[in-house]
Structure 1
Amino acid sequence: MRLSSLLIVSLTFLAAAGLSLVAAGFAVTGVERSTEIAVRRTLDETRNDWAEVTADGLQVILNGTAPDEATRFTALSVVGGTVDAARIIDLIQIAPTADLAPPRFSVEILRNDSGISIIGLIPTGTDRAAIVEQLSGLVREERVTDLLETASYSTPAGWIDAMGYAVSALRYLPRAKISVVSGLVTITAISDSREEKQALEKTLTRAAPPGLRLSIDISAPRPVITPFTLRYHIDEAGGSFDACSAESEASRDRILAAAQLAGQTNTPSCVIGMGVPSPNWARAAELSIASLAQLGAGSVTIANADITLVATVDTSPELFDQVIGELEAALPKVFALHAVLPEPEADTQGGVPEFTATLSPEGLVQLRGRLSDETLRHLVDSYAKARFGSESVYTATRVVNDLPINWSVRVLTGLEALSLLQRGALLVTPDNVILRGMSHQEEATAEIAKLLSAKLGEAESYALDISYEEPPEPEDKPVEPEVCEAELASIQEAGKIAFEPGSATIASQSRDTMDAIAEILERCGDMRLEIQGHTDSQGREEMNQNLSQARAQSVLNELRTRRVPTSSYAAKGYGETNPIADNGTEEGREQNRRITFHLIRLEQGPEQESTLDAAAAEKAEDLSPTETPDTTEQELPGQ
């Protein structure tokens, strides 16, 4: 009986325990569900829906991948405001950080009389020590300032070529700034003359790798004019300059305005340069030209601070004295005036002594007239042969007495001036040196005027009648690059460069076309040219790219076998990327399979876009004459 009572009690306790466990289970599940719902709602409202929530009893487990550490911390903070932070189990992952974009590598090189400095950011693949060593070869090592920094990134395309060209170009440029970025070099420099500027531009362009973009800005400073010369004369035809110099545009405008008032008959020009003897140069020129205009005829020459005004023989003495007196009073103090009023020539039995020299268009020179002694005759003959060639001079002079004391200077200076002409005639008299002729140099009159002014002296009179003619075109003058580009395109319109199907071998029927192209390029001289290969869209894109590169290289190799200078040419394949017709038709595909010749032009400034497509600006891969991509796969590429 007692056993039964104990059993009942035990069963009752067990049943109560079971019910308690079940109730506790339901309570825990309810807590987990409510906690999970509350946390999910909070994460959604705060836009952290990337996080996954799992409730395990009183624990809240957070999973998922946060975009960054800040977002992860925000999610934990939000959940901590909903449940006790001690209950949160953080299993959140952070998304891997994307690779940082490489920096913009650039270098600036400065060179002047003090040395060379180089500053900028270069990739680790750049041989910094070799660059500094090359620069040290241009100047002493202690005069090279290395301010380069290095970043651990791969070398960008075009960087090696640009950097190598910049350093090598510096040997031509004693005063320059060179900026380098990938594929582009910008050169700013100073030259001593226009001729040197043109020579530098040609040299730098020829030395550049074909795929490199260039921006060249070379300035020529104002020339130093010695002596600083102005010569203006008035005759029955009107007024004109033999030489004109000015120190500024304002000074030039004042001088030319004075010449217009004095009766200028042609379109004048005035060289702006350095070396002016006085800031009052324009004022002295205005007064001198105006005084000559008052006299009506004659010439005025200003060489540095010396002014020589020569009137004509028929000028009224009273007018001459009045004009010269007013001019002397008005001139700035630094200028000295020498005025000449020629006296009428007296007839003598022997006539007026004179010396003449004529220069024919063929370069033959005849010397005739009077010289003061045998020594001078030998000197004049030797000087003329040295200037014009020993086989080109014929001397028929005679020795007479009583010639002016400065006769030898006048004759030799006149011959020197005559040598600056292509053809002409020199006449030397006791009162004048007259030179007439033609030159292929636009500034010949001014140069000759400076020469005569410097060597004859302020009291001497001379007259110039020099015409200018364009120099004849040389027989071997290269054709302009733009014309060459057009002619190359025209040839291919008549006979296209064809290839064997699916290969880079030039078809035999295109040999005549290649011969014609080679003939044009031999006449074109130095220019930067890109030989571009194109295919249709049949086949895989990668195979078409390789085939177009191989075909462009084959054309370049064919030109080399024909002895065409190709150091400034590049071969570049564009595959199927630049179609000119519809690839959906056979006719269109035939047009797209082509070779084109593209002229690479100089950049005008660092901010301008390249004249080439972005793809064409990259350097073509180096392929040896025997290297061609494998195009023998089963799938037929664009042919």
Structure 2
Amino acid sequence: MRLSSLFTIVGTFFAAALLSLVAANLSVKLIEESSEIGVRDALDEREMTWAEVEADGLQVTLAGIAPTEAVRFAALSAAGTVVDAARVIDDMEVEAAAAIAPPRFSAEILRNDAGLSIIGLIPASTDRDAVLERFVAISRRKPITDLIETADYPAPAGWEDALGFALTAMEMLPRAKVSVEAGRVTITAITDSVAEKNRLERDLQRASPPGLQVAMDVAAPRPVITPFTLRLVMDEQSTRFDACSADTDATRETILAAARAAGMTGTGQCTVGMGVPSPNWGRAVTQAIAALTELGAGSITFSDADVTLVAAEGTAQADFDRVVGELENRLPDVFALYAKLPETVDPNQGPPEFVATLSPEGLVQLRGRLSDENLRNVADSYAKAAFGSDNVYTATRLVGDLPATWPVRVLTGLEALAQLSNGAVTVTPDTLVVAGNTGNPEASTNIASLLASKLGEAATFDIRVIYEEKLDPVASIPTPDECEAEIGAIVAASKINFEPGSATIDASTLGTMDDIAEVLKLCGDIPLEIQGHTDSQGREEMNLNLSQARAQSVLNELRARRVLTASYKAIGYGETDPIAENDSEEGREANRRIEFKLIRPKPSLREGETTLESVAGSSDTEIPSDDAIGPADE
């Protein structure tokens, strides 16, 4: 009985324990599910769906990758509102932060008469002290404002080339602003004349390294024209301007239109400048041209506000009086008209004259009549000073009864002759004629201004000056593209040949090298690549070496002919760039060649911007040594 009671008690105890264990497990599961669901809901409400929640007993683990550290902390706080914060296990990670982008390196350089300033951010790798030393040399002891900052990031591609070119440009430009960034330089400058503008643009283009994008805005201010001069001649040959000045672009077009209506052909040239004597300049000029057109022939000359109308010899007196009277009444205030109708001269009676001639070789002869020994000495001395003592030959004779203005007319004529490349000046009592050729596009205007100011408003003169581009020291310099084309034509007419399997130029084509050298001397330091090419016979490496050696041989021949080759490169391309098939002797002969190509700027690194690609291709080809040449190509 007692034993049975004992078993009953033990069984009841075990049953109670088992029930307690089951109840405990159910409670833990209920707490886990409740905690996990509650925390997940709290995170979802805050749109933190990236977080993963896992409950283990009383502990709640948060996992996942938080966008930022602040969001991770917010997730922990959200979980702490549902369960005790001590029960939250943080197993979250934070998304790796993106690498800090390097800054945009740039600099602005300003130079004017007051000094030089630079502001910007440059890489720490740039030698800042060396840059400032260049600025000191450029500024020529004028004040320098240094506002440069540095950042310790690698210099971007193209930065050093851009900065180096900007410093070179600043040495050339006394008044300019230069903006520098990697691979690009923007230049804004002002010059004193159109000729200086053209020269600076050409020099800057040549100094620009390959691959650098350069934007230039070089302005030339309007010249000061003194006296403000215009001269239109109408004769049986043509209607033409010896000189033309205008104060605005609109006035220039109005004057040119009036001249075309009077019979002038072509576009005509009229200089826009400062110094106009009246805002009614355009109206006065068009009225005077209309009056000359009505007379049919003659000349009209403006020297500031003085107007001279010279009718053609033989013009009817009545017509002359009527046209002159109408013009006097129409001209705006300030302008004063002097009109002249030349008398008809007996053609058999030759007037006294003085003639000075200038040959293309620079030789000057003085002939004709002078008034006295003093004038002869002055004229001879002036000519020798202007043209050189050894270039002047004087054969004048002294006569009396010459006009009192003869000395002024003779010396003024010599001064006008000095502006020509070749030509002659003829002085007579009634007129002064300047005729010849020049390489200065402004010579005709300058001569007209000179004669008008020195001879007076009533003087009659005739200017027959022709501008020839080949005499212009600026315009005659070929552009890099013209140089490339001219050398290409020489090579096409007479190919550069080599001895078989060798880099030695064949003696029969040394004359071609002479012709190329003469062209390159005129072209200056253009960026040029001398390319060597072969056919496909032989091993590829041997052909590459041979083409390199041949290109280098051509470069050496140019140096021997005193061609400046600092901006040239000799590159061998082997058989990689054929211009014909290699399956025939004619094709192989065509592929064995030397080419001269300009090194052009590469495309800009800026998105959406393009430049001309280098027609010469890559210049990074490894240059082999000369002793690596083999008999691969003949």
Q: 8 Å contact 2:114–2:142 — kept in the other structure?
A: no
Between 202-211 and 58-67, report the one with greater CA deviation.
202-211
Question: For the structure 1 residues 99 and 196, does the alpha-carbon distance in structure 2 shift closer, same or farther, using more than 3 Å as the test?
Answer: same
Q: 8 Å contact 2:503–2:553 — kept in the other structure?
A: no
Partner of 1:400: 399
Question: For the structure 1 residues 613 and 604, does the alpha-carbon distance in structure 2 shift closer, same or farther, using more than 3 Å as the test?
Answer: closer
Distance (Å, rounded) in 2 between the aligned partners of 1:9 and 1:485: 121
Task: Output the amino acid matched with 1:385.
Answer: K
Distance (Å, rounded) in 2 between the aligned partners of 1:532 and 1:87: 77
Q: Deviations over 1:341-368 (max 9, x none)?
A: 33455899x9632222333444443322
Question: For the structure 1 residues 580 and 12, does the alpha-carbon distance in structure 2 shift closer, same or farther, using more than 3 Å as the test?
Answer: farther
Task: Output the amino acid matched with 1:452.
Answer: L
> How do 1:77-88 and structure 2 match up within 5 A?
87-88=87-88
Distance (Å, rounded) in 2 between the aligned partners of 1:166 and 1:371: 58
2:279 is aligned with 1:258: no
Q: CA deviation at 1:249?
A: 1.9
Q: CA deviation at 1:511?
A: 5.1
> How do 1:585-604 and structure 2 match up within 5 A?
599-601=598-600
Q: 8 Å contact 1:234–1:299 — kept in the other structure?
A: yes
Distance (Å, rounded) in 2 between the aligned partners of 1:385 and 1:6: 153
Partner of 2:334: 334
Between 168-177 and 363-372, report the one with greater CA deviation.
363-372
Partner of 1:612: 613
Question: For the structure 1 residues 267 and 153, does the alpha-carbon distance in structure 2 shift closer, same or farther, using more than 3 Å as the test?
Answer: closer
Partner of 1:585: none
2:458 is aligned with 1:459: yes
Q: Deviations over 1:505-547 (max 9, x none)?
A: xx9545559x99987874444222468999xxxxxxxxx9x99
Task: Output the amino acid matched with 1:394.
Answer: Y
> How do 1:362-511 and structure 2 match up within 5 A?
362-471=361-470, 480-483=482-485, 509=502
Partner of 1:502: none
Q: Which of 1 and 2 has higher RCO (CA within 8 Å, sep 6+)?
A: 1
Distance (Å, rounded) in 1 between the aligned partners of 2:595 and 2:470: 35
Between 385-394 and 427-436, report the one with greater CA deviation.
385-394
Distance (Å, rounded) in 2 between the aligned partners of 1:444 and 1:24: 115
Distance (Å, rounded) in 2 between the aligned partners of 1:264 and 1:370: 36
Task: Output the amino acid matched with 1:151.
Answer: A
Q: CA deviation at 1:86?
A: 5.7
Question: For the structure 1 residues 603 and 381, does the alpha-carbon distance in structure 2 shift closer, same or farther, using more than 3 Å as the test?
Answer: farther
Q: Secondary structure at the match of 1:104?
A: coil
Between 454-463 and 86-95, report the one with greater CA deviation.
86-95
Q: Once superposed, what is the RMSD of the aligned Cα atoms? A: 5.0
Distance (Å, rounded) in 1 between the aligned partners of 2:477 and 2:106: 42
Q: Secondary structure at the match of 1:382?
A: helix
Distance (Å, rounded) in 1 between the aligned partners of 2:441 and 2:220: 18
Partner of 2:235: 235
Q: CA deviation at 1:326?
A: 3.0
Q: 8 Å contact 1:533–1:548 — kept in the other structure?
A: no
Distance (Å, rounded) in 1 between the aligned partners of 2:614 and 2:79: 54
Partner of 2:584: none
Task: Output the amino acid matched with 2:485.
Answer: V
Q: Deviations over 1:284-342 (max 9, x none)?
A: 21222222233333222111121122234433444434433332332222222222333
Task: Output the amino acid matched with 1:202.
Answer: R
Q: Secondary structure at the match of 1:150?
A: strand
> How do 1:104-183 and structure 2 match up within 5 A?
104-139=104-139, 143-183=143-183
Question: For the structure 1 residues 551 and 45, does the alpha-carbon distance in structure 2 shift closer, same or farther, using more than 3 Å as the test?
Answer: farther
Q: Deviations over 1:245-270 (max 9, x none)?
A: 11112111222233234343565322
Q: 8 Å contact 1:235–1:298 — kept in the other structure?
A: yes
Q: 8 Å contact 1:216–1:604 — kept in the other structure?
A: no
Distance (Å, rounded) in 1 between the aligned partners of 2:544 and 2:117: 40
Q: 8 Å contact 2:211–2:603 — kept in the other structure?
A: no
Task: Output the amino acid matched with 2:527.
Answer: R
Question: For the structure 1 residues 616 and 426, does the alpha-carbon distance in structure 2 shift closer, same or farther, using more than 3 Å as the test?
Answer: closer
Question: For the structure 1 residues 187 and 256, does the alpha-carbon distance in structure 2 shift closer, same or farther, using more than 3 Å as the test?
Answer: same
Q: CA deviation at 1:152?
A: 3.2
Q: CA deviation at 1:230?
A: 0.5
Q: CA deviation at 1:372?
A: 0.8
Q: Secondary structure at the match of 1:92?
A: strand
Q: TM-score, normalised by structure 1?
A: 0.77
Partner of 2:585: none
Task: Output the amino acid matched with 2:416.
Answer: A
Task: Output the amino acid matched with 2:426.
Answer: L
Q: CA deviation at 1:376?
A: 1.1
Q: 8 Å contact 1:211–1:620 — kept in the other structure?
A: no
Question: For the structure 1 residues 332 and 547, does the alpha-carbon distance in structure 2 shift closer, same or farther, using more than 3 Å as the test?
Answer: farther
Partner of 2:526: 527
Partner of 1:635: none
Question: For the structure 1 residues 10 and 616, does the alpha-carbon distance in structure 2 shift closer, same or farther, using more than 3 Å as the test?
Answer: farther
Q: Deviations over 1:200-225 (max 9, x none)?
A: 12322333333433233322222222
Distance (Å, rounded) in 2 between the aligned partners of 1:428 and 1:471: 29
Unpaired segments ≥5 residues, structure 1: 498-506, 535-543, 582-590, 628-639
Distance (Å, rounded) in 1 between the aligned partners of 2:14 and 2:8: 10
Distance (Å, rounded) in 2 between the aligned partners of 1:418 and 1:290: 31
Unpaired segments ≥5 residues, structure 2: 534-539, 580-589, 627-634
> How do 1:52-91 and structure 2 match up within 5 A?
52-69=52-69, 71-73=71-73, 75-76=75-76, 87-91=87-91
Task: Output the amino acid matched with 2:144.
Answer: V
Distance (Å, rounded) in 2 between the aligned partners of 1:174 and 1:385: 36
Q: CA deviation at 1:178?
A: 1.0
Q: 8 Å contact 2:210–2:600 — kept in the other structure?
A: no
Distance (Å, rounded) in 1 between the aligned partners of 2:150 and 2:142: 22
> How do 1:22-61 and structure 2 match up within 5 A?
22-29=22-29, 31-32=31-32, 35-36=35-36, 51-61=51-61
Distance (Å, rounded) in 1 between the aligned partners of 2:468 and 2:268: 17
Distance (Å, rounded) in 2 between the aligned partners of 1:254 and 1:128: 55
Q: How many residues end up aligned between the 2 structures?
A: 597
Partner of 2:297: 297
Q: 8 Å contact 2:530–2:569 — kept in the other structure?
A: yes
Partner of 2:632: none
Distance (Å, rounded) in 1 between the aligned partners of 2:98 and 2:449: 72
Q: 8 Å contact 2:36–2:54 — kept in the other structure?
A: yes
Between 297-306 and 213-222, report the one with greater CA deviation.
213-222
Q: 8 Å contact 2:246–2:282 — kept in the other structure?
A: yes
Q: CA deviation at 1:183?
A: 1.8
Q: 8 Å contact 2:421–2:437 — kept in the other structure?
A: yes
Distance (Å, rounded) in 2 between the aligned partners of 1:68 and 1:477: 63
Q: Secondary structure at the match of 1:64?
A: strand
Identity of aligned residues (%): 52
Partner of 1:275: 275
Q: Secondary structure at the match of 1:111?
A: strand
Q: Secondary structure at the match of 1:107?
A: strand
Q: CA deviation at 1:42?
A: 8.2
Distance (Å, rounded) in 2 between the aligned partners of 1:71 and 1:485: 70
Q: CA deviation at 1:166?
A: 0.9
Distance (Å, rounded) in 1 between the aligned partners of 2:199 and 2:487: 23
Question: For the structure 1 residues 62 and 131, does the alpha-carbon distance in structure 2 shift closer, same or farther, using more than 3 Å as the test?
Answer: same
Distance (Å, rounded) in 2 between the aligned partners of 1:55 and 1:276: 95
Q: TM-score, normalised by structure 2?
A: 0.77
Q: Secondary structure at the match of 2:320?
A: helix
Question: For the structure 1 residues 508 and 445, does the alpha-carbon distance in structure 2 shift closer, same or farther, using more than 3 Å as the test?
Answer: same
Q: Secondary structure at the match of 2:470?
A: coil
